[in-house]
Amino acid sequence: MARSETQVGIVGAGPAGLMLSHLLHLHGISSIVLEARSRAYCEERVRAGVLEHTSVELLRNAGLSERLNREGLQHHGIDIGVDGIRHNISFLELTGKCVTVYGQQEVVNDLIARRFADNGDLRFECGDVTLHDIEGPQPLIRTNKNGNFDEIRCDYIAGCDGFHGISRFAVPAGALTVYERNYPFAWLGILAEASPSRDELLYMHHDRGFALYSMRSTRITRLYLQCAPNENIDSWSDDRIWNELRIRLGCTDGWLPAEGPILQKSVTGMRSFVVEPLQYGCLFLAGDAAHIVPPTGAKGMNLAFADVYYLSEALDAHYRQNSDEQLRQYSSKCLARIWKAQRFSWWMTSMLHRFHDESGFDHKRQLAELSYVTTSRAAATSLAENYVGLPLYT
């Protein structure tokens, strides 16, 4: 059995785990990142990529923005469409801030490259990973790849391994409270080789279901259609997808999305999920291991960055100042932000998607809400403040 020691063992090489490792490095704190998947899988997995103003600030302050500054697509607002008419919500005018479209896989690529450049200890394809003695005072992580065992002793473990990871399940039954909501629809998402044909994201409310027009780069667009949770992706030919997008996204002024070869398509379920607390003994949960938000509010990766920022600051206070107060406050501080993001994501989702509503009450309520948001500066400002990101450095 190979043995290692470090101050913080990090499970998961997604945005949360990699960012935490980098922030700890900046504080002079050692870490080892363990990932069951291959490096190529982590670098190539396509996920959402809307970065809040606060996340962009964090990346720049951490010295990770060189490619982001060059390739990120800055957006000054969003458009909300109702009955084929677009209404612009100007983040820049309402808040003085904006968001940046930069794919999650690009963030992961930047972080992996930087951690290796800084001689970081990243271990991919670790096989089975298990957590032990997480109550303290010195937990350990074991890996087993084809009978080859590794053991890593550490002071703390950060569970950054996603919703389906092993970290949350290492906590004894009953120690965590789960809050969850599953939505009666999903998103059929595509990546298309088509240059963006508009400057802002378009969130479209339509009688046939919600649709979203977004982009990933100057040559790739990302589009979504509301569909059933059990939708059979094989029943959606490319022609059927583009026809439905033309119907739902079509505007009264004649605008239609630019079309091109579909590079990828998938169906993503919609759920809200939070566990409390985010700490058990020496284990701290962060990112999707602790919470999931519906993608309508573009909060997933941004919440993960906030979690690990607070955790890195708490660990710095522990090692540098011999103070554990921030570690004790980690869960409550993160949860205050998480629940505000959950509220906003639920609100955006419930406002824009069509629900099965035989009485028609919810549909009429949605239309009234959309009218209010698109005509009231106060309502638009509330949307803008939440979308660009609530203050991180508090």
Backbone angles phi, psi at 306, to 5 degrees: -65, -45
Backbone angles phi, psi at 357, to 5 degrees: -140, 95
Residue 387 designated active-site: yes
Q: Output the six-digit token pair for 242.
A: 């583009």
Locate tokens 């079309």: which residue?
Answer: 259
How far apart are the C-alpha atoms of 200 and 90, rounded to whole Å?
10
How far apart are the C-alpha atoms of 287 and 304, rounded to whole Å?
4
Residue 364 designated active-site: no
Active-site residue among 102, 156, 203, 213? 203
24-33 in b/e burial notation, b at 16+ Cβ within 10 A?
bbeeebbbbb
Active-site residue among 294, 295, 309, 353? 295
Query: Cβ(11)–Cβ(161) under 8 Å?
Result: yes
Helical segments of the chain, H only: 15-26, 39-44, 53-61, 66-71, 91-95, 104-117, 238-249, 300-321, 325-352, 361-375, 377-388
Residue 53 designated active-site: no
What are 159's strand-pairing partners? 11, 285
Q: Output the six-digit token pair for 168.
A: 């949350």
Residue 86 corresponds to which amino acid?
A: R
Active-site residue among 22, 75, 97, 353? 75
Residue 75 designated active-site: yes
Active-site residue among 299, 318, 333, 353? 299
Active-site residue among 309, 310, 330, 387? 387
Q: Output the six-digit token pair for 377.
A: 């500066």
How far apart are the C-alpha atoms of 20 and 192, rounded to whole Å?
32
Q: In which order are the strands placed within the sheet that holds 50-51?
A: 50-51, 99-101, 73-75
Query: Cβ(272)–Cβ(292) under 8 Å?
Result: yes
Q: How many CA atoms, within 13 angstroms, populate the side-chain half-sphere of residue 13?
A: 30
Query: Cβ(275)–Cβ(214) under 8 Å?
Result: no
Residue 299 designated active-site: yes
Which residues does the annotation mark as catalytic? Answer: 75, 203, 295, 299, 387
